[in-house]
């Protein structure tokens, strides 16, 4: 008891001396949460249940579905497709992603993998924060869903940036039982089905995260220290339990080398690494690759080999007005060769403004800056994601003939 009294007295002294104790930290955390709510309200960001799918014009729908506008009108006329909703002035309101997927079913243009093809499990990973990891993850998942693939996005990062972009306040809207945490902790669980949530993008599901997921890092590490190395396979087993439903699983791991990141490496069969062309980020990525090499070697020595179908680097947050970034872009091209995605993901006010609204560029109704800036931003995003899409399709033998016909093999 005397020790506790002494500790309490010491805490009082520390506060008086300008130090910060747990009570003050807790109060700051509560204030931050309150301010985040106000920022969300000020940005008019809708919560998950209130968000709606993006709409597509008939010409854009035709391009995405792989048929002409005339073919869509004909299918509506003969009853194969429902007639599109119209405004009072008889203009089409636009097609939802769900309607596009219905069209793909009618026209036989779904891009799904064959049941015999492997599910693509793509981890977007770098051990340094602030490189655009969650931005790349979420935009890649939404891009693939827009093109008709069945996609699962797994947020493995306790910071839950990807989860937030789908309209959730992670530590208010989500309980730990709705994340990966129970599956990683409880050996008796056999499926990730419990954690899967539908999103406002048809064909795109989400396993969300919140801060509690951070606790699993310590629990897994402690159990591994007791010789339970098989825990690294838990995420892989969880994905296998639901993979029949999906063509692609995109994983957003934490920006650190820990137990969850190791589990992600075990589960993934493809890796995308965002790298901003700055000296600090380039240096961190070099360290990441060295650590990745060592990690894969250690896993292999323990019979936990990692097999990647492809490894791609994305130059992210690029500002070509800066001479040093232009130089580093050239160096990255020489170093990474064909592994570097040809299209750089340039820094854009559209991405920043969408993020300020806790949204993505793909779901904005229109430009937040100007039409030309938005179109350039979409060109960068689509260019990056299209190259990764080809890599994914190259994993599927059932797509070989189509890739050759399209000149993409």
14 pLDDT band, cuts 50/70/90, is very low
Is residue 394 predicted with pLDDT exceeding 90?
yes
CATH class name, domain 120-405: alpha beta
pLDDT value, residue 367: 87
- Contact by Cβ (8 Å): 383, 343: yes
Range among 183-197, 216-230, 250-264, 370-384 rated most confident: 370-384
Is residue 402 predicted with pLDDT exceeding 90?
yes
* Range in 3-17, 97-111, 192-206 the model is least confident about: 3-17
Tens-digit pLDDT profile for residues 284-301 = 888 888 888 887 887 787
Of 127 and 370, the structure prediction assigns the larger pLDDT to: 370
pLDDT value, residue 312: 96
Rounded Cα–Cα distance for residues 337 and 39 (Å): 42
Q: What is the location of CATH 1.10.1660.10 in the chain?
A: 35-110
Q: Which of 275, 122, 258 has the alpha carbon at shortest distance from 184? A: 258
Query: How high is the mean pLDDT of the chain?
Result: 87
Rounded mean pLDDT of 71-93?
A: 89
Of 236 and 93, the structure prediction assigns the larger pLDDT to: 236
Rounded mean pLDDT of 333-349?
A: 94
Could you tell me the CA-to-CA distances from 346 to 48, 181, 243, 279 in Å, in that order? 28, 35, 33, 17
Rounded mean pLDDT of 256-270?
A: 87
Report the CATH number of the 35-110 domain. Answer: 1.10.1660.10
Is residue 366 predicted with pLDDT exceeding 70?
yes
Is residue 225 predicted with pLDDT exceeding 80?
no
Is residue 254 predicted with pLDDT exceeding 80?
yes
pLDDT value, residue 42: 58
329 pLDDT band, cuts 50/70/90, is very high
Rounded mean pLDDT of 339-358?
A: 93
Rounded mean pLDDT of 327-344?
A: 93
Is residue 91 predicted with pLDDT exceeding 90?
no
Rounded mean pLDDT of 166-192?
A: 88
Instruction: Name the pairing type of β-strands 151-155 and 248-252.
Output: parallel
Tens-digit pLDDT profile for residues 187-223 = 888 999 999 999 999 999 999 999 888 877 777 777 7
pLDDT value, residue 79: 94
* Range in 28-32, 95-99, 236-240, 290-294 the model is least confident about: 28-32
Rounded-to-10 torsion of CA 127, 128, 132, 134: 50
Of 149 and 93, the structure prediction assigns the larger pLDDT to: 149
Rounded mean pLDDT of 59-87?
A: 93
Is residue 381 predicted with pLDDT exceeding 50?
yes
117 pLDDT band, cuts 50/70/90, is very high
Is residue 154 predicted with pLDDT exceeding 80?
yes
Residue 42's contacts (CB-CB under 8 Å, 6 or more residues apart) are none
């Amino acid at each position: 008891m005397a020790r506790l009294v002494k500790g309490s007295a010491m805490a009082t002294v520390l506060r008086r001396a300008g130090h910060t104790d747990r009570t003050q930290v807790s109060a700051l955390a509560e204030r931050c949460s309150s301010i985040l709510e106000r920022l969300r309200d000020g940005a008019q960001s809708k919560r998950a249940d209130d968000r709606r799918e993006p709409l597509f014009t008939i010409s854009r729908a035709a391009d995405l579905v792989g048929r002409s506008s005339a073919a869509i009108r004909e299918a509506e006329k003969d009853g194969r497709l429902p007639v599109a909703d119209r405004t009072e002035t008889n203009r089409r309101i636009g097609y939802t992603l769900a309607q596009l997927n219905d069209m793909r079913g009618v026209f036989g243009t779904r891009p799904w993998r064959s049941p015999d093809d492997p599910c693509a499990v793509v981890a977007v990973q770098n051990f340094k924060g602030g490189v655009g990891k969650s931005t790349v993850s979420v935009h890649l998942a939404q891009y693939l869903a827009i093109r008709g693939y069945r996609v699962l996005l797994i947020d493995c990062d306790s910071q839950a940036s990807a989860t937030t972009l789908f309209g959730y306040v992670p530590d208010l809207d989500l309980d730990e039982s709705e994340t990966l945490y129970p599956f990683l902790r409880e050996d008796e669980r056999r499926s990730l089905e419990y954690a899967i949530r539908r999103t406002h993008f048809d064909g795109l599901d989400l396993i969300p995260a919140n801060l509690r997921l951070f606790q699993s890092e310590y629990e897994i590490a402690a159990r591994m220290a007791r010789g339970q190395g098989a825990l690294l396979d838990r995420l892989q087993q969880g994905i296998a339990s639901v993979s029949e439903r999906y063509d692609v699983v995109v994983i957003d791991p934490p920006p650190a080398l820990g137990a969850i990141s190791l589990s992600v490496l075990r589960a993934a069969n493809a890796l995308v690494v965002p790298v901003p062309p700055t000296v600090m980020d380039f240096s961190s990525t070099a360290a990441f690759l060295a650590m990745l090499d060592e990690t894969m070697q250690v896993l292999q020595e323990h019979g936990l080999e990692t097999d990647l179908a492809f490894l791609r680097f994305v130059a992210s947050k690029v500002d070509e007005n800066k001479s040093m970034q232009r130089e580093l872009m050239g160096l990255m091209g020489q170093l990474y060769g064909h592994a570097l995605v040809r299209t750089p993901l340039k820094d854009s006010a559209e991405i920043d403004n969408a993020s300020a609204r806790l949204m993505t560029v793909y779901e904005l109704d229109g430009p937040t800056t100007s039409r030309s800036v938005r179109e350039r931003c979409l060109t960068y995003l689509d260019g990056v994601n299209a190259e990764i899409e080809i890599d994914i399709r190259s994993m599927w033998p059932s797509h070989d003939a189509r890739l050759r016909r399209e000149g993409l093999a």
